[in-house]
Amino acid sequence: MTVTQVSAQELFRAAYENRYTWNKNFPGYTADVTYKQDEQVFTGKIRINANLKADVFEVEDEQAKQVINNQAWEIAIHRIRRSFEETHGANTFHYGVTDETGAVEIFLGGKSEGDRYKIRNNEVCLVHRHIHGVVVTINTFSSQHTGEGYLSHQYDSVYHDPKTGEQKGGISQFTDEYEKVGDYFILNRRLISTETAGQTSTQEIIFSNIQLLEPVAA
């Protein structure tokens, strides 16, 4: 009996295609937003359009508005559905080691040379990417299963200088919670706790009254 090992590319593709994303019929949505930065509280509204562009309204504090806008953009960018070929067609894949949890390391070559991931239970549980002049490392500890793919629930992130390896900023711990609105799972709460030089700051973003937009007629 011959045992055929799945290629690194096939293993990575399966996990990539197992992520939860919004389909082409996603109409966009509006929501009320509450942003808490330590003891400060800001409220307003957001709109994410069908093209996944985000707008923030009724937030007077410019710094708070920028934070909310960045979070809304990040929410949308991770739900965009792109084919594996679009995203990784210029990359090569090869196996690294398997750790004690059963997570399989995969190194990328080609366009994304230097990036690496870990796959466990058909999910990406570690991301190590070069992006915008820094290296970001994200470890995912738990996920939510939707029946249409998984969503990260608890994870952390840290940035390093790609040349020196020096850590940039603190380590941020995230907890994301989702609700199903119509046919779509949408983030309704994100808690971020960041430790920098022994000091911890907390941010919480709550999205409520989430309403899908009316589909645009073809």
CB burial of residue 105 (10 Å; 0-12, 13-18, 19+): middle
Q: Euclidean distance between the first and final Cα of the chain, in Å?
A: 54
Tell me: the pLDDT tens digits for 8-66?
999 999 999 999 999 989 999 999 999 999 889 999 999 999 988 899 999 989 999 99
Tell me: the pLDDT tens digits for 135-169?
999 999 999 999 999 999 999 999 998 888 888 88
Q: Are 68 and 33 in contact (CB under 8 A)?
A: yes
Q: How many residues does the chain have?
A: 218
Is the pTM higher than 0.85?
yes
Instruction: Retrieve residue 84's tokens.
Output: 């594996």
